Structure 1
Amino acid sequence: MTKRILLILAIVLLAQSANAQLFSKERLANLETFDNRFLTWGYFLGFNSYDFKIEYFDQAQDDNTDIIVNSQSGFNVGLVGDMRVNKYINLRLEPGLYFAQRNLIFPNLVEERDFLRETKSTYIHVPLLVKFSTKRLNNIKPFVVAGVSRSFNLSSNEQNPEDNEQGQFRMTSGTGYFELGFGIDFYLFYFKFTPSIRGVFATSDELVADDDPNSPWTSNISRLSTRGIFVNFTFQ
């Protein structure tokens, strides 16, 4: 639900802002030479909603025993480095710090200390993106962006000798992703402001299984991978 709210809010904000620019009578061009620069820098602030995609060994898994993932909104902050390739294509490096939390509920377990696992994550997230822009119209320029990324989870517990028997849900510390999104550049008087939304999809299994091969928490999980939505606001 949180992810849907973030998605709807981002689309509404983008649409309203673009509509205001497109149909405004104001035609004065701000920052006319901004896009001619070979390198530009900036920073971003934003929100995230991380989720898990879980696959099971038992394909006949009962829905009543599926692991439930409750996502919570998190916060993003980072830097932007942009390199101009040509008029419509840019390469972007956006290293950032992402704070996230997902709660895993195991409905087949009864005791409170067993059925809930909080996975709080602090990611150093480093994406390399290709930005494909349209022609600038008035003071806006829509774009789509795609690329790959790598993250390092500082709270993964991968090397922790304790596992779910002691209340510790463990994940791998490094994860690869591919990303896809869109946004709009707004050329303001003093700077360029860019709201954007991206989907991120892990390409690797992030589960560190419990030591017990019959663990009620991890024994039936064949693959656990992150997916999520980022809503960022960039200032350049």
Structure 2
Amino acid sequence: MYHLSSLQTKAIAFLLTLFSAGHLSGQGLKNYGNNYRDFAGKAYYFGLSFGVNRSNYQIVHSRQFIGNESIKIAESNDGPGFTVGIITNMKIGDYFDLRMIPSFSFVERNISYTGYTNLEDNMTRIESTFFEVPFQVRYKSKPYKDVKLYVVSGLKYGFDISSKSRTKRLTDQIRLSPHDFSVEAGAGIQFFLPYVIFSPELKFTQGIGNVLIYRNDLQESTVLEKILSRAFTISFHFEG
């Protein structure tokens, strides 16, 4: 988990530095590209978003974890996923956008338990299909020819539409709430092409709501106090 978080921090810090440098260098530049001029007058953008992600859980142990004699380690392992969404973008002046990107996100995350003996080791695999609605604010630099840099942040609500079937199928495992709220922050680059705006984007998502449904009859649940979702996503936006 530490290496994933370190990668997320470095990637976003790099793009924030790149954004700052681009904004400063573009203060006196009026050399706008022809493609940018074609899009500059549009108040609304619509498009499609495709992304890949690595996600896991931030686990907070309960007091019972310290005194238990069976489970030595309870941790989350990274899993892959992908996201597809529809973009609605409204410009607020030259530098700000309001964005909503309803999406379907397919993710896989694991919670592994290591016991004091090998017989007690086990792993819970959690495969989810989320319908997500992110609300974002985007701040963009001045354009240099047909390129802009930007940072973005916002709130996201997600509903796991596969939660009910998973609960029925896995009655002896921990249960998670289908509702999830999170904050997002990221950065990207806009390339203004002849017919479309192409934007690769890096984004980190951190859950702010505890998704653990406590089960007093299950030791794997009693050793946990909170489970928070988090993910690192690389997205490719196509808008026009």
Q: TM-score range by the shorter chain?
A: 0.7 to 0.9
Shift, 1:58, TM fit: 2.3
Q: Which amino acid aligns with 2:202?
A: I
Among candidates 213, 220, 230, match of residue 233 of structure 2: 230
Q: Is the 8 A contact 2:115 2:121 kept in 1?
A: no
Among candidates 14, 26, 49, match of residue 54 of structure 2: 49
| Structure (1/2) with the larger strand percentage | 2
Give the corresponding residue for 2:28.
none
**TM-score of the aligned structures, taking structure 1 as reference length:** 0.81
Q: Is the 8 A contact 2:11 2:202 kept in 1?
A: no
Residues matched between the structures, number: 223
Give the corresponding residue for 1:75.
82
Q: Is the 8 A contact 1:194 1:233 kept in 2?
A: yes
Q: Is the 8 A contact 1:6 1:231 kept in 2?
A: no
CA RMSD of aligned residues (A): 3.1
Among candidates 34, 39, 52, match of residue 34 of structure 1: 39
Among candidates 153, 164, 173, match of residue 160 of structure 2: 153
SS in 2 for 1:100: strand
**TM-score of the aligned structures, taking structure 2 as reference length:** 0.80
Asked if residue 117 in structure 1 is aligned to residue 136 in structure 2, the reply is no
SS in 2 for 1:189: coil
Shift, 1:210, TM fit: 2.3
Asked if residue 218 in structure 1 is aligned to residue 221 in structure 2, the reply is yes
SS in 2 for 1:176: strand
Q: Which amino acid aligns with 2:104?
A: L
Q: Is the 8 A contact 2:56 2:110 kept in 1?
A: no
Worse overlay, 155-164 or 116-125: 155-164
Shift, 1:209, TM fit: 2.1
Asked if residue 105 in structure 1 is aligned to residue 137 in structure 2, the reply is no
Shift, 1:139, TM fit: 1.1
SS in 1 for 2:78: strand
Matches within 5 A, 1:184-195: 184-195=189-200
Q: Which runs of 5+ in 1 are unaligned?
A: none
How high is the sequence identity, in percent, across the aligned residues?
A: 23
Q: Which runs of 5+ in 2 are unaligned?
A: 26-30
Indicate how the Cα distance of structure 1 residues 7 and 100 shifts in structure 2: closer, same or farther if over 3 A, else same. farther
